[in-house]
Chain A
Amino acid sequence: MKTLAREQKLQHLYWRAGFGLPFKPDQASPAIKNAVRGLLRQSGHAESLQVALPRTETTLQADAQNAEMRLLRQRERQQGFVLLNNSWLQQMTTSEAQLREKMTLFWHGHFACRLREPRIALLQHNTLRDHALGKFPNLLLAISKDPGMLQFLNNQQNRKQRPNENFARELLELFTLGRGHYTEQDIKEAARAFTGWSYNPQGEFVFRARQHDRGKKTFMGKRGSFGGEEILQIVVENPRTAEFLTEKLYAFFVSDTPHPERIRTLSTYFYNTGYDIPKLLEKIFTAKWFYGPDVVGSKIKSPIELLAGLQRQFDVTYTDGRSPLVLQRALGQELFRPPNVSGWSGGRNWIDSSTLAFRLRIGPSLLQDAALEVNLKPDDDSEPTAPRRRRQDGIRIVRAKANLNGLQQQLQQVKDRELIDKLSQKLLQVPLRPETAALLTQHIPSGAAHADKVTLLTLRLLSLPEYQLC
């Protein structure tokens, strides 16, 4: 097995644990063990996402009688989501706490809610962020009491007289055990235990004792007058929860192809550490196999990884605040807008002929300040199409400024004949085939200045399918 150079290992680590390694003039190359510790240390503290949202909405019940008023509020909510989206993408790009950003993105897809109110979405986001690198049972309890979650999965309607099973079902199916590891009766009993879990108009968790079913429940072979806390406790005591989470984390951080043996070892470790998330991640990132050929470059970048990565490495700044959101929607992953409670399916699902063609154009277009045009499908939940304008509504043009300064500086001393090798190692996570390298050479004028060669080669490399992998 060919081992990777330290720099390439570092690149790999940063693509997986974060959003790529920025091109700095004097990039240090610490040993992997130290780099992993550094990532964990820099992510140790949870910095909240701070967004100043437009503020006329003061209640959760958006039940304004007047429809005109409702439209106004809708517009306000829409602006709110643009702000949320930009702020988070910006934080992913600039924050030193790369692992916390990445892990928050993972939980956003795991506890996937599509919320109406930006304020509630921000609250939920910061709950995920706070607990992203803690112990899973704490995260699970916090998110189960989160107003956005209670709203999205209808627990507000879960009452003693008329239980609503939505939250209980997804808790077992999507958040902890996975299909096939519980019965329909378990769902019914768990739903009873969560009756009365609610929130008030200020967006705070409230336990409504009068709506709570105090009776005895039989849940997964245990019997008692369980409340929600006990149900969560029983669920995390089941090692299957550790397995289920490890499978998902493995797919997110390592590879879409499951590796039962590695997953078994990792999940046992995860369970034995009391679901300590940073410890599990450290185990993954320091494993020898993590840098093996079946792992490095084997993942298709998610749209967010692609966009945050470009922004991080090439200082992309968009002319219009809506542009990042437009690109995300065109590529099929919009922050704060997961498709449904099961999150983004990821992997090859990111790719169809349209998204691939669009992906190949994004890098070169953003770097050249060229306009990217795309016709978006409407999203009537967040921004109802105005019938008179609807044709123009769909067409969005994205423009941005970017620079290659960091990359140029790193390559200043590199000789022409080594340029393609060096550059492709920096930009691609899979080896460039010699034939493709030769083709690239043909497309670069041999008399061009060094800096121009770097630019031209970068544009070509970013347009290759290889750039879509990490």
Chain B
Amino acid sequence: MERPAWAPPGIDISVPSVSRIYDYYLGGSHNFEVDRQAARRAMEFMPGLPKIMQANRAFMRRAVRHAVAEGVTQFLDIGSGIPTFGNVHEIAQAASPGARVVYVDHDPVAVAHSHAVLLDDEHTGVVAADLRKPNEILAAPEVGRLLDFDKPVALLLVAVLHFLEDADHPYDAVAQLRDALAPGSLLILTHASYEGIPLTEEVAGGAVGVYRDIRNPLVMRTGEQIAHFFEGFDMVEPGLVSMPDWRPDRSEDVEDGETPEDPYAFSGYGGVGRKA
């Protein structure tokens, strides 16, 4: 039976949460032992998982700066998770003080924590909603209060779409969100994939199995499948690539021109699209 809309999900911190696992990978302590156990189990298969998360954060940082540089100062971050260092609003507001950000997550603990962290920031908002129901996100009062959909918005779907199974109709969800965006809006997206992982699919599959076990299945998609999420968007250079390859800050790396990135950082894909 489907849960009625008015019945909130239960809070069971004995069940691992992908937001808190993510925080653990990033070296945070916003997590509980169950989360750490799950994270360690996954790392037995893919020791470099934290590097992938770090690459995600770094990509996001560069993409948000790119958005501001393009004049987009409204951000809708769906699947924002536990706020930690280098949050979207920090990056955006550092580049453009008036930037507005709405964080959306369906994990009630992540949402509560976001509320606590962002209490005093009137330019940011937090919405408890699910990417599987884009209309609820678009209809949320905080979204309406902070974002002007007549102007370009940067939609962030960073490390979240791979938690939507095909039965959840992820392409439809993205399309619905896209349709609400004004021309010039950006889609900032990263997605897990077996492509680029410096491991065999069998070994990497072990980590995927851990997510399945905690009932947050991780759906690995091919680059081609991930590219479909950008339907209706024009890819920003250099297109859909490994995350470290997306507009690296090479100018900073003056000393020797090398980027000694960890091999794991090249797992999965990241890209930015611009709505025509």
Asked if A pairs with B, the answer is no
B: residues with CB less than 8 A from A are none
A: residues with CB less than 8 A from B are none
